[in-house]
Structure 1
Amino acid sequence: MNADEMARELASLGRRVAALEATARPPAVPAMLDQHLDADTVLYAGLGGWDGQTLAWQVVRGWDEIRSAPADASAGVLAALANPTRVRIATELLRRRLTTAELAQRLDQPSPGQLFHHLKELLAAGVVHQPERGTYAVREQHVIPLLSVLCAVLDLRPSVPWEDS
């Protein structure tokens, strides 16, 4: 192989490697742990496809910031999610925006009044919003934080429910 053929082969190889690297990692991925984390910090992050786009989210908060946050605001969100039907509504809306009729069908909700009650609680807490009349959704900037809350709950549950009684 002469020098020209080797240069062409090397250039081809470089293009193939670049193409592979481009597909291996979405362009919006933040440098998750590249930054220096101080002691007493909590980091949560997420990455995934949602609503036709790639979402990447990273939050780092100090323990003192978390512990000194207003309890009323946190309790309002947790209270809104403290109902199995409302958690199901939120998880369905994490898939895509839905109309009231679609939500009622997915949840097998017998009473429109009950569904509206649950939606009102989630709206008041800011967990969901109404982008247009009769349609409900999770705001883009709330997708990964809401998934993170639901993920953290999995770690807070007792491993064997009957051991706590």
Structure 2
Amino acid sequence: MRSAVAGSRETPTAHSGSTAKPPRVMPQARLTRRPGPGTVTDPAGIDFDSPEVQAAELPSSNGIGTVHALARMYAALIGAVDGIRLLTWPTLSSATREQVRGKDRVMLIPTRFSAGFMLPTEDNPMTGPYAFGHTGRGGSLAFADPEHGISFGYAMNRVIAGSDDLRANSLVGALRGCCNNDLS
């Protein structure tokens, strides 16, 4: 199983397979005032680098890990990594079956989703029709492609909001070119 890892921002994870000392557990974040409209859901109003925000549980907003850990996790979904496979083929097949497609009402772009994973679209083709994964804040991306036997993780040092950010798409395009040239 091969993993492609791109990006230079390495953020601590609870388990990265290393023997390094685990990160300190941060105290739960507390609100000191009643949040106003948009306070919790407006990413511009949240300091994602603060220990309090990183310790909080913000569904779909603050998954923290290294690109290496993301690529390894996706690799373990489609094959054994160090003897560990996270999902059986039948479970993976069920977990990656399309559940919904259309214009996302939050991201305002065409999307396809399975039970927890984004699926390839024209704007985000990943590396092929059987790939699955998820985009992240500011242009990060991680996915696996069982057809090509690869996983991919990308994060960046600088967030660029909006559709002007082509960094992940450029890297995935190069990876897709390698897959199409039969280098798998």
Query: Larger radius of gyration, structure 1 or 2?
Result: 1
TM-score tier by shorter-chain length is under 0.3
The two structures have a TM-score, normalised by structure 2, of 0.23
